[in-house]
């Protein structure tokens, strides 16, 4: 059976003459801690979160305990230990800090969104018009603010397939076929801490970049020209 210590409440009433209400003492045990926030003066623990789901909205309920710890030497020592641990781990490196040669997991796992500027840069790079690039290589999907106009197509309709501009026969041999003109989304993608890295690849392997991506119609024209020489 749980006992509740009401001595402090009674003492407060005795000293101040003000009534206290024992039912306002939340005695629910702190079972599951969801979040801890520590500032220079306060520690706040969010706990016992519960989500009540409806079809159209969720009700999220949690308890929150907040304490001004900087007057409490025991707490100051405990938080000092957490800070010491943070200092100890300060120079820990993430598991991945650079892309192994030929890895392109992110070129199939994600769909890079493209802005008008991205489409124009790719068009200039491929010597095509904006409309040609948009039609052949972009799935239209305008963002709410109008900045993005869509995302780059995959080689087929499967969203998990390779980016249409990815070249190379397999992981370890992949390379971006429009690298200098790749979208801003691809430029922003960082290998630091990347969890998609193909860990089977050697970091010392030789990586050769092949021919750049060539638009289909130009390829056909090129092939046609070659054929006519024979």
The stretch among 12-20, 105-113, 124-132, 220-228 that binds ligand SF4 (CB under 6 A) is 105-113
139 binds ligand SF4 (CB under 6 A): no
Distances (CA, A) of 135 to 10, 95, 113, 149, 154: 77, 39, 15, 12, 13
Buried b / exposed e over 97-106, threshold 16 CB at 10 Å, is eebbbbbbbb
Do the Cβ atoms of 165 and 72 come closer than 8 Å?
Answer: no
Q: Does 9 bind ligand SF4 (CB under 6 A)?
A: no
Contact status: 168 vs ligand SF4 (CB under 6 A): no
- Is residue 136 close enough to count as binding ligand SF4 by CB under 6 A? no
CB of 30 to ligand SF4, least distance (A): 39
* Cα torsion angle, 29, 32, 37, 40, sign: positive
Question: Does 107 participate in binding ligand SF4 (rule CB under 6 A)?
Answer: yes
Q: How far is the CB of 201 from ligand SF4 (least distance, A)?
A: 8
Rounded to the nearest whole angstrom, what is the least distance from the CB of residue 138 to ligand SF4 in the complex?
11
Residue 197 is a binding residue for ligand SF4 (CB under 6 A)? yes
List the alpha helices (DSSP H) in 127-188. Answer: 130-137, 184-188
Q: Return d(Cα 7, Cα 104) in angstroms, integer.
A: 65
Q: Which residues bind ligand SF4 (CB under 6 A)?
A: 96, 99, 103-107, 112, 152, 163, 165-166, 176, 178, 182-183, 186, 189, 191, 194, 196-197
């Amino acid at each position: 059976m749980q006992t509740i210590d009401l001595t402090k409440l009674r003492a407060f009433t005795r000293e101040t003459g003000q009534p206290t209400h024992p039912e306002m003492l939340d005695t629910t045990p702190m079972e599951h801690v969801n979040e801890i926030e520590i500032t220079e003066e306060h520690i706040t623990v969010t706990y016992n979160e519960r989500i009540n789901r409806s079809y159209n909205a969720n009700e999220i309920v949690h308890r929150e305990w907040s304490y001004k710890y900087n007057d409490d030497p025991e707490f100051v020592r405990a938080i000092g230990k957490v800070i010491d641990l943070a200092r100890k781990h300060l120079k820990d490196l993430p598991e991945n800090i650079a892309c192994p040669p030929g890895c392109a997991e992110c070129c199939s796992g994600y769909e890079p969104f493209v802005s008008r500027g991205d489409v124009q840069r790719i068009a200039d790079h491929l010597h095509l018009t904006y409309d040609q690039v948009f039609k052949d290589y972009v799935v239209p999907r305008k963002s709410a603010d109008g900045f993005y106009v869509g995302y780059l197509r995959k080689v087929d309709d499967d969203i998990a397939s390779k980016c249409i501009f990815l070249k190379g026969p397999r992981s370890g041999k992949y390379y971006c076929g429009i690298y200098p003109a790749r979208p801003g989304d691809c430029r922003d993608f960082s290998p630091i801490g990347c969890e998609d890295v193909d860990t089977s690849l050697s970091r010392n392997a030789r990586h050769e970049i092949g021919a750049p991506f060539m638009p289909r119609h130009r390829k056909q024209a090129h092939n046609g020209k070659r054929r006519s020489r024979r």
